Structure 1
Amino acid sequence: MPLIDPARLAPLLGPWAGRFDVDALAECDSTSSEVLRRAEAGAPAGLVVVADRQTAGRGRRGRVWHAEPEDALTFSLLWRIEGPPARLAGLSLAVGLALVQALEHLGFRALGLKWPNDVLGLCCGGWAKLAGVLVELSSGPRGTQAVIGVGINLRAPQVGLDQAAAGLADLGPVPDRHEVLAALLASLGEVLAQFARQGFALLRPAWEARHAWAGQSVRVIIDAGKELTGSCVGVDVDGSLLLSGPEGPQRVVAGDVSLRAVSGGPSA
């Protein structure tokens, strides 16, 4: 039996209970792949697939998501918006903000955001990855479709790490996973509704207030070997990263980019 019981989840969602159709699986290849398959078969927006175990969970840049069933919460959400994919600029940042705000509502502190889509926790003397987001977009007759994949560590993973990682347990007592999922979905519902109306621009101040790298010297490595260095100024209204460097202002659009601290800065 899956660790999540949708019947227990509904009362916790309050007014959002009718907006999400949650299906809990003991195992699947990838929650995002499962949602995409169902979307292609006509599933409505608001579908949520949560799985205890993923045999082929994935993150950005082809990374594999490693998590034991009781140590993580992994789910994907189907969301649609009218208009072209360009309307969704900054979506992954908005999703990250929604996750942080949900965790703050649950009482967690020492949280930060790393561009473009990581949630960080401050523990053991530094920032460590707490959660990740993968947004996959496609166009169709009903507008632009987004499959939003979320993986959050309840306890820090012990294998498959290429960067510092943390779990909610490192930051405080962990609520029942139903409470965590309900808080995340309710926050996503609120933030995505605002994003659909106004885009990322009005969410930008809240994101920047939680930017773990604000003012830090960083190195941005882009595919094809291009490298930029500079100080993190902030993010633009479309979610692009703004740097101030030796060659003047730089604007980095979301894509296959790795962010690593220059010596003396934080690391995550």
Structure 2
Amino acid sequence: MQSNSCNSSLSADAILRHLGPLAGEFGLQVRAECASTNSELMDAPPADDGRVHVVVAERQTAGRGRRGRQWQSWSGGSLTFSSLWRFAPGAPVPAGLSLVAGLAVVRALEKLGVQGLQLKWPNDVLVNGSKLAGILVELQPGRGRTPAAVVGIGINLRLPDDAYIPDQPAVTDLARQLDLVPAPEALLASVLTELHILFDTYAAAGFAALRGAWQQRNAFADLPVRISGEGTDVVGICTGVDEDGALLVRTEQGLERILSGEVSLRAAQ
């Protein structure tokens, strides 16, 4: 249950209270501000003491998203946190890991009553097409045979009126979706609980065990899409994801598997 809080209005004790019987599974560091929660865990990973280590910050000054983008955050307007997950040797990391993380976020938000939630491959959570949350998964350099990954998550709580998010034409926040936005401590505990449940399933049975649940929330199911970022564009119909988390697109040449996370998925124009 050990926690470390540095002059933040976020309460580590409240997070642990909301975690209930799972509190002992997590080691918390609560910050008012840091450069990047992912960098905190990637650059100086805590010793493996059997717990999942979590860094949560009210504000990130150099938050990172996919493809080198900056993750925008505002004090009180966003929940930004990263968690370090270590898996047993032989676990299927990293196949489909970011998709499982997205599913955990959606499950937590669905239990709060958020409607219209969708998943955009490989790492965005949408509400009726507008971005609500993003995920960045980074693999830890090999230490022995234990695979490990840092999972960074940012959820928009209350965006300021003048918020500008590059490359995101449509964004939303929980304040637009719910009459009452939950306390960030309760929301964090809920997401961590879902991550704990789903990553246990993932470690034992791989992404295949969760593929159906992801497919049900696929934002682009059976829609025309364009994949760009790998030199040539791929245009076709999104048919879902494979058992290893690869995106499946039916093109004029046949079914193509998109494996790289360094691509952009958009509706075809």
TM value normalised by structure 2 = 0.91
What residue is the counterpart of 1:197 in the other structure?
204
Q: 2:157 aligns with which of 130, 145, 154?
A: 154
Amino acid at match of 1:159: Y
Q: How much has 1:222 moved relative to structure 2?
A: 2.6
Structure 2: state its 5+ residue gaps: 1-6
Verify the 8 A CA contact 1:241 1:254 in the aligned structure 2: no
What is the SS of the residue equivalent to 2:114?
coil
Aligned equivalents of 2:93, 2:185: Cα separation in 1: 32
2:182 equivalent to 1:175: yes
Q: How much has 1:141 moved relative to structure 2?
A: 1.6
Aligned equivalents of 2:47, 2:97: Cα separation in 1: 23
Aligned equivalents of 2:144, 2:31: Cα separation in 1: 29
Check 1:86–1:12 CA distance in 2 against 1; reply closer, same or farther (3 A cut).
closer
Verify the 8 A CA contact 2:31 2:58 in the aligned structure 1: yes
Q: 2:138 aligns with which of 120, 132, 136?
A: 136
What residue is the counterpart of 1:106 in the other structure?
112
Please give the residue correspondences for 1:181-220 in structure 2 after superposition, counting only pairs within 5 Å: 181-220=188-227
Amino acid at match of 1:217: P
Structure 1 residues 69-119: Cα deviation after superposition (integer angstroms, max 9, x where no partner)? 111000000101123686320000000000000101111111000000100
Q: How much has 1:212 moved relative to structure 2?
A: 0.9
2:244 equivalent to 1:238: yes
Verify the 8 A CA contact 2:121 2:247 in the aligned structure 1: yes
Structure 1 residues 173-229: Cα deviation after superposition (integer angstroms, max 9, x where no partner)? 311111111111111110111111111001000000001110100000033x21100
What residue is the counterpart of 2:4 in the other structure?
none
* Moved segments of 4+, more than 6 Å: none
Question: Number of residue pairs matched?
Answer: 257
What is the SS of the residue equivalent to 2:133?
strand
What residue is the counterpart of 2:35 in the other structure?
29
Verify the 8 A CA contact 2:36 2:63 in the aligned structure 1: yes
Please give the residue correspondences for 1:72-83 in structure 2 after superposition, counting only pairs within 5 Å: 72-83=78-89
What residue is the counterpart of 1:266 in the other structure?
none
* Most deviating of 184-193 and 78-87: 78-87
Check 1:240–1:165 CA distance in 2 against 1; reply closer, same or farther (3 A cut).
same
Structure 1: state its 5+ residue gaps: 264-268
Aligned equivalents of 2:60, 2:84: Cα separation in 1: 18
Verify the 8 A CA contact 2:91 2:203 in the aligned structure 1: no
TM value normalised by structure 1 = 0.92
Aligned equivalents of 1:128, 1:87: Cα separation in 2: 29
2:65 equivalent to 1:59: yes
